[in-house]
Structure formats: structure tokens, C-alpha cells
Amino acid sequence: MADYKEAPLATRPKTLDPAEYFNLSPEYRRAEEKRAALRAQLKRQYLQQLNNPHRKELIEDPALTRWTYARTNNNYFRPTAKTSLIGGLFGVLPLFALYVVFKSDRDKREAKIKAGTYERPYKLST
């Protein structure tokens, strides 16, 4: 495995990267061990809650709470040039464009009705 050579256009996956396993500095090792210990602690906490026979309520997931809060409390909007352009393009321009379309269409029809040349395509009582 040490002499794995990746294909010319593919990237080497992280688990096969030799730098993950060889020539690791002691600080890196210690940091990795600490991170692994934290992960194990969190997993143990979750499994304890999950398998607790007396538990009746939901296991609270702080990541989910943060995510929903971030999605709903939209304080991350900042009026920049790009957002203003998008807002104008989708929020303001269609209103004027639709006004032009509808008004001209209706005025054409009104002119035809006044001139007496409008033939009603459908016999509807709408």
C-alpha cells in the first residue's frame, strides 16, 4: 500500500494518503488523540441517551437547533451589489415587465373592441 500510485486524473483519497500514517509529528498525534477522545465521548453520550429505557423525550441535537435557527432567523442577508441585482431582477423587474405585457395586451383588445373587429374566440361566460 505504501507504493500506491493514483491514476493520472484521480486524486488520492485521504485515507490512502501516506502523510496520514507516516512522519507524523507528536503534536499532530496528540491533537488527533484528543479529537478522537472527544468524538468517543460524544458518541457515548448519544448512545447512552438512545438506549436509555426510561427515556421518553427526543434526544436534543444541538447541530439541528443551530441549523434551523440559521435557516429561519435570516440575519445573514446583507445588501450587496449582487443581492441587490438579484432582488431587482426577480422582485422588481417582473412587476414592471408584467405591467407592460398586460397593459399592452388589454389595450390592444380594447382598441379592437372599440373598432368592432374583436372576434371572441370562446363562448364563455367568464
| Residue whose CB is less far from other proteins, 27 or 57 | 57
Length of the chain: 126
Exactly one of 5, 71, 78, 82 binds other proteins (CB under 8 A); that residue is 71
**Can residue 74 be called a binding residue for other proteins (CB under 8 A)?**
no
Minimum CB distance to other proteins, residue 11 (Å): 31
**Can residue 105 be called a binding residue for other proteins (CB under 8 A)?**
yes
**Can residue 42 be called a binding residue for other proteins (CB under 8 A)?**
no
**Can residue 59 be called a binding residue for other proteins (CB under 8 A)?**
yes
Q: Helices in 51-92 by DSSP H: which ranges?
A: 62-72, 81-87
Is the CB of residue 20 less than 8 Å from the CB of residue 14? yes
> For residues 40 and 34, what is the distance between their CA atoms, to the nearest angstrom?
10
> For residues 104 and 95, what is the distance between their CA atoms, to the nearest angstrom?
14
> For residues 76 and 94, what is the distance between their CA atoms, to the nearest angstrom?
25
Binding segment toward other proteins, per CB under 8 A, in 17-25, 31-39, 49-57, 111-119 = 49-57
> For residues 94 and 101, what is the distance between their CA atoms, to the nearest angstrom?
10
Which residues bind to other proteins, rule: CB under 8 A? 49-50, 55-59, 64, 67-68, 71-72, 90-91, 94-95, 98-99, 101-103, 105-106, 122, 124-126
